[in-house]
């Protein structure tokens, strides 16, 4: 995911209100008289206009009462008709009383535990204790350290495709890690620890040749891993498990009312418009490049999507109205990687295109 976690949560909250309040003008990261608000909702009812402002808190702990009180003042200064605070971790004791006093809403946004597998023709088949790898970092003989990836799908891809060449044999990184599994866990469930696995002398990284992983002499592989109970899926076909995103549950703390939203319905790219030459993210599928716009259609390239340990790339056409499901990419380090991926895709297409003289 290219966007920061806090931004993703703000966009999620904006998308939820877009679905829940059809016809309203929903804006993410907007300003009122110079003051920033995470989400602004404007709508008309009868002869009158109403303004709701939303503050999003993606905290590890419940939101403190003083944060709720501060937002009440900010909302009043903006002359909002309604103030809403959204939290991923709930609210401290006393926040409910403050919200009731000032007619404010508090919503707790979490992931639902129920994932419907019917769309993929699958069903749950219990759990199994398995080794789970959270992160991998390569340490080279010259002292450089390279973390493989920031998300598990990219990690799976590189663990499968990084090749380690020894004096005699060649082995994939994931195979190298698993033959050293006894070093990574003592059999205790849900205990994750970093283990440093020394490489045999004269080990070199020799692939993949995609400019993402340094290809040179390797000394140590650092692995954060542990044993955990992993849900098992029974299905007639193969599909990427990370695409199974759980629905989003939104609970009103004051009333107890709860609603569930399917992730694929939520327009996380609210306000996005396709522009030629720009990159976009569609979570959790991957990253795209807008190549051309013709009337109501945009030709976009799926530049990077990791599924079942493989890199997926394709060119496709989408209606420009669907831009609301794509988020612009602004992180320069991510953009540099995507530009390289785009060049590689175009080069691969050029190699596959027959010369006119050859038919």
The Cα 328–Cα 273 span in angstroms is: 9
| Banded model confidence at residue 356, pLDDT cuts 50, 70, 90 | very low
SS3 152: helix
H or E segment and range at residue 2: none
DSSP 242: G
At 267-315, the pLDDT tens digits run 999 989 999 999 999 988 999 999 999 999 999 999 999 999 999 999 9
Q: Which of 207, 237, 234, 205 is nearest to 220 (CA)?
A: 205
At 265-274, the pLDDT tens digits run 899 999 899 9
For the chain, the average pLDDT equals 92
Region 198-224 average pLDDT: 96
Q: In what order do the strands lie in the sheet with 310-319?
A: 310-319, 297-307, 286-294, 279-282, 327-328
Region 229-242 average pLDDT: 81
Residue 155's Cβ-count burial label (10 Å; 0-12, 13-18, 19+) is buried
**Other C-beta atoms within 10 Å of 45: how many?**
7
H or E segment and range at residue 58: none
Q: Is the pLDDT of residue 351 over 80?
A: no
pLDDT in the model for residue 246 = 87
Q: Which of 315, 316, 313 is nearest to 344 (CA)?
A: 313
Rg (CA), the chain: 24
Region 92-98 average pLDDT: 93
Asked whether the CA dihedral 354, 357, 358, 359 is positive or negative, the reply is positive
pLDDT in the model for residue 125 = 85
Q: Identify the bridge partners of residue 133 per DSSP, sorted by sequence position.
A: 225
At 342, list the tokens: 């785009």
At 258, list the tokens: 């709860």
Question: Which residue is listed with tokens 């098992």?
Answer: 232
pLDDT in the model for residue 353 = 60
Q: Is the pLDDT of residue 176 over 50?
A: yes
In Å, the largest CA–CA distance within the chain is 80
Domain range list for the chain: 5-114+246-257, 122-235, 279-351
pLDDT in the model for residue 141 = 98
The Cα 218–Cα 130 span in angstroms is: 27
Q: What residues contact 256, with CB distance under 8 A and at least 6 apart?
A: none
CA-to-CA separations, 10 to 17, 57, 81, 204, in angstroms, rounded = 11, 8, 20, 43
Task: Specify the CATH number of the domain 5-114+246-257.
Answer: 3.40.1350.10
pLDDT in the model for residue 42 = 97
| Banded model confidence at residue 204, pLDDT cuts 50, 70, 90 | very high
SS3 318: strand
| Banded model confidence at residue 231, pLDDT cuts 50, 70, 90 | confident
Q: What is the DSSP string of 306-317?
A: EETTEEEEEEEE
Question: Which residue is listed with tokens 């319905």?
Answer: 265
pLDDT in the model for residue 354 = 57
pLDDT in the model for residue 359 = 38
pLDDT in the model for residue 149 = 82
| Banded model confidence at residue 115, pLDDT cuts 50, 70, 90 | confident
Question: Which residue is listed with tokens 């995103």?
Answer: 245
Q: Is the pLDDT of residue 239 over 90?
A: no
SS3 184: helix
Q: Is the pLDDT of residue 9 over 60?
A: yes
| Banded model confidence at residue 156, pLDDT cuts 50, 70, 90 | very high
């Amino acid at each position: 995911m290219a966007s920061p976690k806090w931004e993703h949560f703000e966009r999620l909250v904006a998308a939820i209100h877009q679905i829940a309040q059809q016809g309203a003008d929903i804006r993410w990261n907007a300003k009122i008289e110079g003051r920033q608000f995470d989400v602004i909702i404007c709508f008309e009812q009868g002869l009158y206009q109403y303004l709701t402002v939303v503050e999003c808190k993606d905290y590890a702990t419940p939101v403190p009462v003083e944060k709720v009180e501060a937002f009440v003042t900010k909302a009043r200064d903006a002359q909002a008709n309604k103030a809403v605070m959204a939290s991923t971790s709930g609210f401290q004791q006393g926040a409910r009383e403050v919200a009731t006093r000032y007619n404010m809403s508090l919503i707790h946004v979490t992931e639902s535990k129920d994932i419907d597998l019917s769309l993929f023709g699958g069903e749950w088949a219990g759990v199994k204790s398995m080794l789970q790898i959270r992160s991998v970092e390569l340490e080279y003989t010259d002292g450089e350290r390279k973390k493989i990836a920031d998300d598990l799908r990219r990690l799976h891809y590189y663990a499968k495709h990084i090749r380690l060449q020894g004096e005699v044999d060649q082995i994939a990184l994931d195979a190298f890690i698993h033959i050293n599994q006894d070093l990574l866990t003592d059999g205790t469930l849900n205990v994750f620890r970093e283990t440093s696995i020394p490489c045999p002398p004269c080990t070199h990284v020799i692939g993949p040749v995609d400019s993402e992983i340094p290809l040179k002499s390797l000394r140590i592989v650092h692995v954060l891993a542990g044993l955990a109970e992993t849900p098992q899926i029974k299905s007639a076909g193969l599909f990427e498990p990370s695409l199974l995103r759980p629905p989003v549950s939104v609970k009103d703390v004051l009333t107890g009312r709860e609603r569930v939203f399917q992730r694929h319905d939520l327009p996380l790219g609210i306000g996005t418009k396709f522009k030629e030459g720009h990159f976009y993210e569609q979570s959790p599928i991957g990253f795209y490049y807008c190549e051309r716009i013709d009337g109501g259609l945009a030709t976009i390239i799926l530049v990077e999507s990791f599924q079942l340990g493989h890199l997926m790339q394709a060119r496709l056409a989408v209606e420009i109205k669907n831009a609301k499901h794509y988020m612009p990419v602004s992180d320069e380090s991510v953009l540099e990687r995507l530009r390289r991926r785009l060049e590689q895709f175009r080069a691969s297409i050029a190699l596959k295109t027959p010369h006119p003289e050859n038919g």
